[in-house]
A and B are shown apart, each in its own frame.
Chain A
């Protein structure tokens, strides 16, 4: 228990640092802005209480916001991701349910399950985030294009990290 909390804390710090120091500085033609810190929300245990999940999402978003100078934007998007995560988990639950005390990882539930899980949450998060950033419906399709491209990059990164974790 303590071990897994420590491990999650370490992942949390690593992801935030990675996001702030590396990915926030990627400006590939203005269309690709990957936000990989969302992986922290993905990796939280399956049975985490919803209220704790919401508060952790809020804090994660808040920290990213504080350091990237965009108050509220990441907070509301990450909070939304945290809010829909239990519902998404229910929708895509494996045939024989989740194992008690398990992490939603590729190792436990397989590549295909983890892929759909990642895609759903990352797309929800990125959609909320990019539309909040633009904050208008003009350029609707341009924003959608940005959402899709950035999601593609974020998902690729998350899968790579997860694949590496599984291999270990």
Chain B
């Protein structure tokens, strides 16, 4: 206490100066609009900077939840988009006409198990029959082909990955519409083979390959990949290597697409087979 008093006495002029200067600065920052704004803004930018850092960290920690929310939102938007898109090119339609009803149904799901290093790869999703998932629904990731549901339990389902030798898909060249059969090469996670494209068709590296919609599993026009290489092996068909657009090594959130008119289509097709 004595020391404190000594200290105060020794520097009394400094303290008088600081107190009076404090009053002056207070007057300065409250009495003048301009200075007031500058002071308030200065403090605010400081606190905002700190708050932004805290918020960034919090967002990072919540990223998983945010991602799944976004995925569900995406699915909902695709659903509503499907409701509207059937009406594009017709002048008259009845809202009760089944021809214009929603064609595809989207559900988002999280990949909880995945394999990429076998010849027959599957991945597991966290949604099942209770969530409306059925066998033979299509699975896409970021609007690119990922696989097909092959088995469902109550809350889980297993999808055959595109990286599976049993996976066959009807695919076409986006530029000219010639279609063929796509399967995995079995060699690495990035490449698939497209067969049955006749040799008179112009193929270029970088051409987009998309689904045809013939199988009633995938909607028409879902991206599969791009032509990375093609060779003329002497037969009637090209041997086209596809660079797959989906990166199976980081498959986390997928869309499950159900064709609501599939039964109808298959029944009709079965009549003639």
Q: Say whether A75 contacts B24, CB under 8 Å.
A: yes
Q: Say whether B32 contacts A55, CB under 8 Å.
A: no
CA–CA, A162 to B32, complex, Å? 35
Which residues on the B side are within 8 Å of A72 (C-beta)?
Answer: 24-29, 31-32, 35
Among the stretches A22-30, A38-46, A76-84, the one at the interface with B is A76-84
Q: Say whether A54 contacts B17, CB under 8 Å.
A: yes
Which of A128-164 touch B at CB < 8 Å? 132, 135-136
CA–CA, A73 to B12, complex, Å? 23
CB of A10 within 8 A of chain B? no
| Contact A71:B32 (CB < 8 A) given known A58-B20, A65-B27 | yes
Which of A27-75 touch B at CB < 8 Å? 50-51, 54-55, 58, 61, 65, 70-73, 75
Number of interface residues of B (CB under 8 A): 19
CB of B166 within 8 A of chain A? no
| Contact A51:B24 (CB < 8 A) given known A73-B32, A135-B34 | no
Range for the number of chain A residues in contact with chain B: 20 to 34
CB of B249 within 8 A of chain A? no
CA–CA, A53 to B165, complex, Å? 94
Which residues on the B side are within 8 Å of A82 (C-beta)?
Answer: 17
| Contact A79:B27 (CB < 8 A) given known A50-B13, A51-B16, A70-B32 | no
CB of B38 within 8 A of chain A? yes
Q: Specify which of A73, A83, A135 is in contact with B17 (CB 8 Å cutoff).
A: A83
CA–CA, A55 to B20, complex, Å? 8
Which residues on the B side are within 8 Å of A83 (C-beta)?
Answer: 13, 17, 21
Which residues on the A side are within 8 Å of B31 (C-beta)?
Answer: 70-72
A61 (CB) vs chain B CBs: closest residue: B24
Interface residues of A (CB under 8 A from B): 50-51, 54-55, 58, 61, 65, 70-73, 75-76, 79-80, 82-83, 86, 132, 135-136
Q: Can you name 27 A-B pairs with beta carbons within 8 Å?
A: A50-B13, A51-B12, A54-B20, A55-B16, A58-B23, A58-B24, A65-B27, A70-B31, A71-B28, A71-B31, A71-B32, A72-B26, A72-B28, A73-B32, A75-B20, A75-B23, A75-B27, A75-B28, A76-B24, A79-B17, A79-B21, A80-B21, A83-B21, A86-B13, A132-B35, A135-B35, A136-B38
